[in-house]
A and B are shown apart, each in its own frame.
Chain A
Amino acid sequence: MNGLIVYLYGMLLFLLPGTLLGLASFQEPWGFLFCGDYKTYQTDHFWNKHGKKMPAHNDFKKKTIEAYSELGLTCRDTLFAKAKYDTIEESLNGNTRGFEDFILGWRNLIQLKGCTLYGFESKLILPAGGTKHSLRYGRWGGQCSFIAANYFTIYERNVIIDFLAGYRCYYGFPSGQIRSHLTLAYDPSPRTQVLATAHLEYGVFNGKTHADHNMICFNPNYRLLKIELQAVFCLSAFSYASVGYYWHAWGVNVGTGGGFFATAAVQF
């Protein structure tokens, strides 16, 4: 029994960055993970189509509640699903509430060699309703990604590098996007982990034009580099919590600013 707990704890440590960020996490057969996430975002500026920072003249505040879950089918295949509910307050345009488009996905472990893994991920984007400003495109879409992760130690401390690169496309509009992220995770103690992640959402501007003048969230043609810092705390062998901060470092047709987030997760 103790051996099983140690094994699970070890697995959890390995899976922490993936599970929290929805990256290269692979569940045991019939293993189940559930994450609840609360995120804030605030800005009053945006980058225009030339990447120049401009005032929005509109205070934009967004709060997001996210539910994310994973289910292991085999030791190589994991299904996942994501749902987000946003509450947006804009000083000029009033309040908007609703679900973002839903995501269903499948992650496949191609190869696990030593402490390096390679995988493949595909996502289906399901519209949660019609197009809604700053909230969702309301379009069908899909994403295919390549995943690579490497686990090693420095001065007897665990380090994980996690990488994803993929392409997201939508039916009709908006523009297709190259999506990538790189995570560096480090364990300062056995029960804590710190992560730094760079997310890239690079619109290739091939979508049909759409009369959406929203320059902060979900512009049909946007590019964004987002940096995240996160601290994870293991609460038990089956649960953990994290807090973090993120900011938009660079962009085109997207809001500046950033916000905080907090996550709690349980794994069975």
Chain B
Amino acid sequence: MLFQMCKERHRQTPIKLRTIVVIVAVLLFGNFFSETHVLSAYEAKAPAHIKKPIWKSVLPYLLPETHPAKPKLDAIFSSQRALLNLKTLEKAGFRNPKPRKYTHLIVTSHPDLEGYVIKLYVDAQRYYKDTPEWKYWILRIQGAHAIEHEIQRRGLQEYFKVPKKWIYAVPGKPQPSEEYLTKNFILIEEDMDLCTSKMNHSLWKGSTTDKELLQSLYSLLEDLGLKDCAKPDNVPFSIDGKIAFIDTQTWGEWPVLYEKLTPFLSKEMKAHWKKLTKGAR
């Protein structure tokens, strides 16, 4: 029934207009989806080691000073230059920090920050595609806001979820040597408590993945242009049975790569997925 209602609503507004409205809303008011927006004096004033225009850009997405993770992060990053390289990250307690294959992004966690996932680049790394790390963090947060907004709007909370994300500004001291490319920001995300890769793949292949689920996934992907999210690794099942959107960097980009999901579906769902995505942009 719920999906029927969604379909009805889906038909009421042309895709382009609805998409534009969502994107503009997220760009303008995206920061209101974060937990708190009362800027402290610290948040409002740019630290000496960060240029003012950059600070102004990241300000709406900063981890609030009142957030419980903030003092723990301050403690980790003030005592040493943990972001210098992989060894210093490990020394600071981060678990298994290894660059990912394509984006070279380091996804890690820390025993003092249970319930959170940390995404970062180290100072010894160059910028991925010549773009400073904070621009990617903003994109990821805006993507998460757009997905959250759409999930709420369609009433799909039962099936989907997306982590809350914040930017944390690393303290100015200690700084790395000038030869390295200082990274001033990292991304903090809620841990979605994901299933193992094997379990995730079997859930995508199994009876949990039905026509209604695929229909609502398709409409989210298509409307928001979540180009890279039609992959089980980017939309994995979590322990609570919901599908989590964990890669929110690429959004507002079409065509969506629907074919990436096809091999992971059951025979019946493969045929349905192909039929569903046939008319996609």
Contacts and interface: CB of A to CB of B under 8 A. Distances in A.
Contact of A94 (B101, B130, B180): B101
A154 interface: no
Nearest to A212: B126
A93 interface: yes
B87 A92 contact: no
A199 interface: no
A144 interface: no
Contact of B87 (A57, A94, A211, A215): A57
B126 A56 contact: no
Contact of A57 (B86, B101, B102, B130): B86
B275 to A, nearest CB: 37
B126 A54 contact: no
A240 B90 CA distance: 50
A208 interface: no
Interface of A is mostly: loop
Contacts of A48: 177, 179
A162 to B, nearest CB: 36
Contacts of A91: 99
A115 to B, nearest CB: 48
A214 interface: yes
Contacts of B127: 213
Given A58-B125, A133-B126, A215-B179, A94 B84 contact: no
Interface string B52-96: 000000000000000000000000000000001111000000000
Nearest to B181: A213
A92 B181 contact: no
Given A94-B102, A94-B104, A214 B126 contact: yes
Interface string A58-98: 10000000000000000000000000000000011110000
A57 B179 CA distance: 12
Contacts of A133: 126
Contacts of B214: none
Contacts, number: 42
A210 B85 CA distance: 24
Nearest to B123: A57
Given A57-B86, A58-B124, A93 B181 contact: no
Interface in B187-223: none
A215 B180 CA distance: 9
A93 B179 contact: no
A93 B122 contact: no
A213 B125 CA distance: 9
B104 A92 contact: yes
A133 B130 CA distance: 10
Interface in B100-135: 101-102, 104, 122, 124-127, 130
Contact of B126 (A46, A49, A93): A93
A92 B179 contact: no
Contact of B86 (A46, A92, A93): A92
A92 B130 contact: no
Contacts of B179: 46, 48-49, 54, 213, 215
A92 B122 contact: yes
Contacts of A213: 126-127, 179-181
A95 to B, nearest CB: 9
Contacts of B125: 58, 92-93
Interface in A206-257: 211, 213-215
Interface of B: 84-87, 99, 101-102, 104, 122, 124-127, 130, 177, 179-181
Given A46-B179, A57-B86, A92-B85, 10 more contacts: A54-B179, A57-B85, A57-B122, A57-B180, A92-B86, A92-B99, A92-B122, A93-B126, A213-B127, A214-B126
19 contacts: A48-B177, A56-B124, A57-B122, A57-B124, A58-B124, A58-B125, A92-B85, A92-B104, A92-B122, A93-B99, A93-B126, A94-B99, A94-B102, A133-B126, A211-B130, A213-B126, A213-B179, A213-B181, A214-B126
Top-5 shortest CB links A-B: A57-B85, A57-B124, A213-B181, A92-B125, A48-B179
